[in-house]
Structure 1
Amino acid sequence: MNQPSVTLRAANPTFDDGLACAHYANEASEGFMQVMFGRRYEEIIANAFLQPDHDSSYQNVTFAECDNTIVGMILAYTEAQHRRSSREPQRKAAGRLRLRMRIVEVLLAPLMRLNDSIEEGDFYLHFVAVDRERRAAGIGSVLLDAFEDQARASGSTRLSLDVSVRNEVARRFYEHRGWNVESEWPNSWFMPSLSVRMARPL
């Protein structure tokens, strides 16, 4: 059976593309976006997505499409872009729910600090996700190839990402592509590891 052809496109600053980004971000983060923003998470993320120059902006998103239908996404940025980024677009989009966002940020401060620990020269893969029914079709590999091309074009010297320790399938996928585990979080003798930082030189 022939695999469907996959095309890649940069995200557009539209609300519909923002809703797609919110869906895939929530999938990739195992529901964290919904924890952060509540039932309106898709609307909040979609509105923030429309703003430039922050981590979750449309500028950092690439979609994979089959037959003009979005089937996957990557969201990635350089360490320098992340350093200049702000969470203010999300807070503004959250409106009255910004207090909920702030509470989650305080409760999960160690995890937020982990996300801020991107090394200089890194091109960081924040989210990658593919529709569940398409996950054996090679779309993930197409997206990772695009991510690596973007990293080279940005002048980055290394690729990095964080992955849940429970996601053995993803970890094996990255290892097969030459990525190595360089650290675990939390790094504590009395707490189990929840995620691992993986990296690969360009």
Structure 2
Amino acid sequence: MISSSVRSSLQVRPCTAADAVAATQLLFAAGPELFTYTFASSAEKTLEILTKAFAKPDHAFSYSHAQVAEVEGEVVGLLVSYSGALKTEAENRVHQVMPGIVPVWKVPGMLLNLTDLNRVKQPVPVQDYYVLCVAVKPELQGQGIGTCLLSQAETMAALEGCGAVALDLTLNNQQALRFCQGLGYRVVQSSTTPRFERQTGAGGLQRLVKPLVV
């Protein structure tokens, strides 16, 4: 339930490139271990890469696939999501965006980490819908904004004819796990590698799924 303090001014709208700075702060906060590992960079440099890339259209963590929640005109929440049928295409487009954003000398380290991350990640069935990120500013968590954003994802999934919504959480993110389980999501698989555990400290990834009632 959305709290009365935010209900009157809460608005969820499609994200634009102009939201990149505010949105990527939320995106990074949702999985700092994953993003620093993916880009083989410090937190500061990773956020810089994310911000530049987010403003480019149509790839896996682009504004094109995002919704933002605003309270009194301020971006306070973020949802990035797409169908399983679109996921592979969106991820492949990341490779088209990175040249010119990521220094060439970073590429070998990124490829090594991405190869390992691909061993940890689970495929998403094309008939399902995937939530890459749902995030809310810490000071406004617990007031129903995250619930509203996930509900938005489920509505979009249903409109696209998807049978379930899937998302991934790191094993150490118990707060997010409790939140998602409270909304009907259930853990269906967990995976990790020794390198992933050692480099991220996140333990591994767990896939949560919520079937949609037609």
State whether TM-score is above 0.5: yes
Q: 2:27 aligns with which of 25, 35, 47?
A: 25
> How far is the alpha carbon of 1:93 from its aligned partner?
4.3
**For residue 98 of structure 2, what is the aligned residue in structure 1?**
91
- Partner amino acid, structure 2, of 1:147: A
Please list every run of 5 or more consecutive structure 1 residues that lacks an aligned counterpart in the other structure: none
The answer on 1:54 being equivalent to 2:54 is no
Q: 2:138 aligns with which of 114, 132, 143?
A: 132
SS of the equivalent of 1:117 reads coil
CA distance in 1, matches of 2:204, 2:86: 26
CA distance in 1, matches of 2:112, 2:211: 33
Moved more, 105-114 or 156-165: 105-114
Please list every run of 5 or more consecutive structure 2 residues that lacks an aligned counterpart in the other structure: none
Q: Name the structure, 1 or 2, with higher relative contact order (CA <8 Å, separation 6+).
A: 2
Change (3 A) 1:52 1:128: same
SS of the equivalent of 2:101 reads helix
**Count of residue pairs brought into register by the alignment:** 197
Change (3 A) 1:153 1:101: farther
> How far is the alpha carbon of 1:172 from its aligned partner?
1.5
CA distance in 2, matches of 1:99, 1:116: 29
**For residue 80 of structure 1, what is the aligned residue in structure 2?**
85
The answer on 1:8 being equivalent to 2:12 is yes
TM-score by length of 1: 0.86
- Partner amino acid, structure 2, of 1:94: I
SS of the equivalent of 2:57 reads coil
Superposition pairs of residues 29-44 of structure 1, within 5 angstroms: 29-35=31-37, 36=39, 37-38=41-42, 39-44=44-49
The answer on 1:161 being equivalent to 2:163 is no
CA distance in 2, matches of 1:63, 1:182: 28
| CA deviations over 1:122-166 (Å, ceiling 9, x no partner) | 111111111011112111111111111111122211110111121
TM-score by length of 2: 0.81
Indicate if the aligned counterparts of 2:168 and 2:207 stay in contact, CA closer than 8 A.
Answer: yes
The answer on 1:65 being equivalent to 2:70 is yes
> How far is the alpha carbon of 1:167 from its aligned partner?
1.5
Indicate if the aligned counterparts of 1:64 and 1:143 stay in contact, CA closer than 8 A.
Answer: yes
CA distance in 2, matches of 1:93, 1:118: 29
RMSD: 2.4
